[in-house]
A and B are shown apart, each in its own frame.
Chain A
Amino acid sequence: MDVLDQSEIRIPRRHTGRRKPRWQPTVQEALKCEKSEKRRTSAIMLGLSIKEVSAALREGKLSATELCRKCLQRIKKTRHLNAYITVTEELAMRQAQEADDRLLRGKPLGPLDGIPFSVKDNFCTENIETTCASRMLRGYCPPFNATVVQKLLDQGAVLVGKTNLDEFAMGSGSTDGVFGPVRNPWSYAAPYRTLSHGTDPDSDWVITGGSSGGSAAAVASLSSFLALGSDTGGSTRNPGSLCGVVALKPSYSLLSRHGLIPLVNSMDVPGIMSRSVHDTAIALSVLQGRDEKDSTTVQAPDSHPAALPQEFDVRDLCVGVPKEYHAPGLSAETLSQWTRVAAMFERAGARVCEVSLPHTQYSIVCYHVLCCCEVASNMARFDGLQYGHRSAVESSTEALYATTRHEGFNNVVRRRVLSGNYFLLKQNYERYFVKAQQIRRLITEDFRRVFASGVDVLLTPTTLSDAATYSDFIQEDNRTRSAQDDIFTQPVNLAGLPAVTVPTSLSSRGLPLSLQLIGQRLQDRKLLAVAHWMEQQLDFPLIRFHDEDDVQDTKSERNRDRERTSGS
């Protein structure tokens, strides 16, 4: 079937310059398009915020099917990014049509009705392949929707596809999945192409970060207005940061994990990615709350409205800056952003103070032990008997198990399973698991103490620097990379706190730099209010691609790359 508009779309070469607050095309600008300008305006339309596009849908200035078609076209145009594993074209068009029917009757389901979104491929989607980017689950179609997916569908949001990731969300680059690495859209954007002096985009492209790299790339490249990621040690915030999108890791237990294929149950949270804090807040209000299917969920603390306060006074705010986050390897540029934003808060009247989180340094090793243990346990169900990959070796049940698991999992998963089982052995349990849990408590206690002393939010870097090129990134193995890249994000998961990353500016290489705000448990709304204020003061640009030819060129390269990955 072919529902796509066949006309060529070119990505605009230039935006209307910088403005304050953050650059946004007006709806009128986006919609008063003549046919000759169609290509240009479609990108502008895709760059609108959810709030704006939702208003346009209600006012009938735009149809949901048209919007959906544009997103699907954008997905095709950006296929070289390898952001999507599955594109649900047919379903999306059907959902969009239903949204249009409701919109025509003047009865939209809510602010997300007709809004295209994508979902990381470790959330179950009913009758839609859910792979976890693993050979183990290739071809697996769950018979149910994850609660967070269902909630978005119930709001009329339009699912355009399932996004790429590291296998079973284990990684920080989105480079270790069976479908190959995800490319950062900013690799093909004007600033990077200009500043990297015209080197070959096929070899110098940068990674998205991970493990929710596909979701981050989808939102950053304007093919989805909203994407779900998952965040266990930073998997939503890390790629959010490197791709220049707003990425929220909500408080543990605020969002249901039912249908999220687990990495570490006690740390996993569905993450929200969008291009503005406001859009994130809309999604959060839809997704949060108790779910009978997940016993660890709690009721959202209060029934606050979806909208964030327009005027937020930071003068009553105390912003903590943890001294331990001045970590080795922190780039000068990230540090200067950190300093700049802290100063910005201070200038606006907030109290900025240095705080100490002494046990943060142990977070990596603690996380490593707990993560491997739960991975070993969670992966035990993949034995080839009921679903997923099944080896042809059937000489005995044990041989069937062993070869199925060997063939189905990549090295990263297998190593974590092995380590986890070792840590859980009776003779090792006290030495590793129990000790790690004790350290986890100390880390949690660090945060509690700081917040009890009057700090409202913590301001930290999200990543050490801007995105690395793929060729640099793969110089180190997954384990080393995860340990390096998660240091600012992971303690938050151990403590169950909410954290959001907000892009601040482009680096000297033309790549996004971001900072993280950490809030108190279940105070996600307050955290977003602060993030919203910060976003308004900053001036982060919308992506603009270098030119269409770059996109064309990379296609062949991408295919080569994919063959190589799947053939190995």
Chain B
Amino acid sequence: MAASCSGSSAILHKCVPFKSMCNMHQCSGVFIRRIWTSGSKCQLQPKLQSKSASQMVGVVALEIHAQIQAKSKLFSSSRVGFSAPPNSHVSFFDASLPGTLPVLNRRCVEAAVMTGLALNCKINTKSLFDRKHYFYADLPAGYQITQQRVPIAVNGSLSFSYLGGKKRSEVMTKSVRVRQIQLEQDSGKSLHDDQRSRTLIDLNRAGVGLMEVVMDPDMCCGEEAAAAVRELQLILQTLGTCQGNMAEGQLRVDANVSVHHPGEPLGIRTEVKNINSARFVARAIDYEIQRQIEVLESGGTVLNETRAFDSKTGMTVPMRDKEGLQDYRFMPEPNLPPLFVYEGVDTVPDGFDPAHVVVIDRLKAQLPELPRVKRTRLMEEYGILPEHSFTLVNEDGLMDFFESVVQKTKMEPRKLIGWVIKELMGNLNQQNLKVTQSPVSPEALAQLLNLLESGFISSSAAKVVFQEMWKAPEKCVEQLVKELDLGLISDREELVKICQRVMDAHPDLVKVIRGGNKKVLNKLMGVVQKESKGRADPVQLRNILEEMTS
């Protein structure tokens, strides 16, 4: 990173020597070692805890910053773009030039209201902006404009599901309270160049609109938190209010973690930051719960501190620069009048153009089908199981894939779902691919299933063909079936010949069947199928064998 930074320093604003940051890096190295020695003594898997430890449980609350998907920033007209050249999207206001003033972006307000509605929040028709002060190089004004006192949305809830139970196929559903959603500015980015001991500032992100979703401490472990994050991500993506890509920082999760004995007051919490994927949400939180339990059990105390998750080691380490309690010296933002949104067009006061204000009813009418509703619809429409509809909606693009296959085949969706969940997802997961990267297109899968449905190939043959399609996506399904010689044997004479050959090779089995144990017929059928490479139609085969062994 350092090299790329110094290379583009000509277009960066200023470089700041940042000695204190270097110190921090050295110190955090020390911390890593210390925690490693204490933490390495025991397993970090919650399931393998000792008896006394299992009495303590984790309490998790999330604060999620979602970057609002909008063309321009929250208070300025500069564009929002990930991976643009450094400092290319910076207005005078974003750079906090003196004399500049914030002008609120209506699109950001609408996004927050829509998100609030989707999370069952009460929308405050009057909300306020505040200044939160702290000195940091990538916060050019020395304060962040946020909504501390009266946020735009409050008192909502987020219900989410995850697959649990013994076989991890049971849909477990939970709900967390959403305390508030507030609009606020994003900060810029500091790029630390340790070699030259300086910091470069990129203000492209400074002033981008954020929705901070604050949840109550209603969760108990990493898995729940990860599921809640995933559900929120789906909702935001469905609404189009946030792209939700965690790796690109569009969705940032901070976890407040504490442990306690159930029934007792909550323990001292730490705040875990720097979690940049859904998978790490679970890992970071479970690590932190376990760490706190160990600290307490060994007679120590948990410090109220901010810790960073290190995805390489899977551990959390204290963040030195966030040490100590900050007094943010909140103050009302004097340059922005109260933010008014209106229940309906009829409540918009005279003198305001309803087209230029935010109307809740109008946004409510525009809400798309939310994931929860979508899952129910899928179950009803296609007669599929809850866990199937869960997977369909939660895997990016899988539902579209599924519905597209449904449209193109005569096969029952209920039968078809197994192909999508087991065969397709199994292969994708094995190779760590996304649905959109699948070598087998919905069309190709539909063709295969049509052959199966029309009795041209058997189900076991279809599975073989599917694996071949995966390896050679350029070949069409019919061609593969032909090449592999997997078409069903429709000639009865040929089948009889194969059966005769098998019966001759297994006189003992035939004897048992003739002795009255009809169950053994299945075994004989299996041998025939193996011989015919699964090309025999099972019903016809059974008839022939029954005849021949009688």
Interface set of A (CB-CB < 8 Å, partner B): 123-124, 132, 137, 142-144, 146, 257-262, 264-266, 292-296, 373-374, 376-377, 379-383, 385-387, 394-398, 400-401, 421, 424-426, 429, 433
Contacts and interface: CB of A to CB of B under 8 A. Distances in A.
Closest 7 pairs (CB-CB, A-B): A380-B142, A424-B329, A265-B334, A266-B334, A261-B98, A259-B99, A396-B20
Interface string B138-164: 001111000000000000000000000
Contact of A142 (B19, B97, B330): B97
Contacts of B143: 377, 380
A293 B103 CA distance: 6
Nearest to A398: B20
Contacts of B142: 377, 379-381, 383
A146 B99 CA distance: 8
B92 A144 contact: yes
Interface SS of chain A: helix, strand, loop or mixed? Answer: loop
B14 interface: yes
B335 A265 contact: yes
A385 B99 contact: no
23 contacts: A123-B99, A142-B99, A143-B92, A265-B335, A266-B334, A294-B101, A295-B103, A296-B337, A373-B331, A377-B331, A380-B141, A381-B142, A383-B135, A385-B13, A385-B137, A386-B96, A386-B97, A396-B18, A396-B20, A397-B20, A397-B21, A397-B199, A424-B133
B336 interface: yes
B17 interface: yes
Given A143-B92, A294-B335, A421-B329, 17 more contacts: A123-B99, A137-B98, A142-B97, A144-B97, A146-B99, A259-B99, A265-B335, A292-B103, A377-B331, A380-B143, A381-B142, A397-B16, A397-B18, A397-B20, A398-B20, A424-B330, A425-B327
Contact of B135 (A137, A401, A426): A401
Contact of A395 (B19, B201, B329, B336): B19
Nearest to A137: B98
Nearest to A394: B17
Interface in B315-362: 327, 329-331, 334-337
A474 to B, nearest CB: 28
A396 B135 contact: no
B304 interface: no
Contacts of B20: 396-398
A146 B104 CA distance: 19
A522 to B, nearest CB: 14
- Majority SS at the chain B contact face: loop
A414 B189 CA distance: 29
Contacts of B337: 295-296
Nearest to A379: B142
B267 to A, nearest CB: 23
Contacts of B97: 124, 142-144, 386-387
Contacts of B440: none
Contacts of B329: 376-377, 421, 424-426
A258 B99 contact: yes
A380 B133 contact: yes
A394 B141 CA distance: 20
A295 B131 contact: no
A385 B327 contact: no
Interface in B365-405: none
Nearest to A268: B334
Contacts of A382: 98
Contacts of A257: 101
A262 B102 CA distance: 13
B524 interface: no
B90 to A, nearest CB: 10
A425 B103 CA distance: 27
A553 to B, nearest CB: 38
Given A144-B92, A396-B20, A258 B100 contact: yes
Contact of A293 (B101, B137, B327): B101
B327 A426 contact: yes
Nearest to A145: B99
A426 B96 CA distance: 25
B335 A397 contact: no
Interface in B1-23: 13-14, 16-21
B95 interface: yes
Interface string B95-136: 111111111100000000000000000000000000101010
Contacts of B18: 396-397
Contact of B140 (A373, A385, A421): A385
B482 to A, nearest CB: 69
Given A374-B334, A385-B137, A258 B101 contact: yes
Nearest to A256: B101
Nearest to A401: B135
A261 B99 contact: yes
A383 B96 CA distance: 11
Contacts of B135: 380, 383, 398, 401
A381 B99 contact: no
A172 to B, nearest CB: 22
A381 B92 contact: no
Contacts of B201: 385
Contacts of A433: 331
B193 to A, nearest CB: 14
A344 B96 CA distance: 50
Nearest to B13: A386
Contacts of A376: 133, 329
